[in-house]
Amino acid sequence: MSETQITRIKCVLVGDISVGKTSLRKRLVSETFSDNYLATLGVDFATKKFNIDDQICELQIWDIAGQPNYHSVAERFLRNSDGAILVYDVSNPSSFEHLKGRLSSIQELNVDEEPVFLVVGNKIDLQDPKMGPDEINGYFVREGFDLKEPVQTMYASAKTGENVENVFRAIAKKALKRIS
């Protein structure tokens, strides 16, 4: 039997404070590894293994708290990530409007190798999303983003757990496809 290869994928959760980034991560994996260094930065780290098309990958999830120094910390992690999950709260329109600024930063920070990204509308237990995935893709196109592929949007609820695992599996799958 051949030795099992594990592909490690670094993924960052980004989005406004209170959209549910930590709740999504905790719903997927409750255990986190947080050393002193990461704790002072307000960063949590968790991993989850996925088997995708007979490939085993370990998704490393970086969850950055919305502290005053958020931007500099987030930049550091965004610079060498393979994937980014852009989270908004479907009951809070401004959290969606702020995603374009975050996507711009991701693109500016990674001019050579852009990470794969996925938009996630969280808190669907509170209300149905106002915008569908095609509408969201159209929005980013109209905003003038130079996109390698259409924007993929998924909806989830960290509260009920609906679609949470699928979201993380989807970003792992996208990153694997980009790497291989």
Q: Which stretch binds ligand G3D (CB under 6 A): 3-11, 113-121, 128-136, 156-164?
A: 156-164
Binding partner of 122, given ligand G3D, Mg ion, none, CB within 5-8 angstroms per partner class: ligand G3D
Question: Hey, how many other C-beta atoms are within 10 angstroms of the C-beta on 160?
Answer: 12
Among 58, 75, 125, 165, binds ligand G3D (CB under 6 A): 125
The answer to whether the beta carbons of residues 153 and 138 sit under 8 Å apart is no
Residue among 10, 21, 48, 173 that touches ligand G3D (CB under 6 A) = 21
Under the binding rule (CB under 5 A), the answer on residue 95 touching Mg ion is no
- CA-based angle 59:60:63, to the nearest 5? 130
Is residue 48 a contact point for ligand G3D (CB under 6 A)?
no
Query: Can you point out the beta strands (E) in 15-89?
Result: 43-52, 55-64, 83-89
Kindly state the DSSP code that residue 144 receives in the 8-state scheme: T
Tell me, what amino acid is at 163? N
**Is residue 22 within the footprint of ligand G3D (CB under 6 A)?**
yes
| Token pair 């592909």 in the structure block, residue | 7
C-alpha to C-alpha distance for 157 and 120, rounded to whole angstroms:
10
Q: Per CB under 6 A, does 95 bind ligand G3D?
A: no
76 binds ligand G3D (CB under 6 A): no
User: Least Å distance between CB 119 and ligand G3D?
Assistant: 14
Q: Which of 98, 159, 169, 178 binds ligand G3D (CB under 6 A)?
A: 159
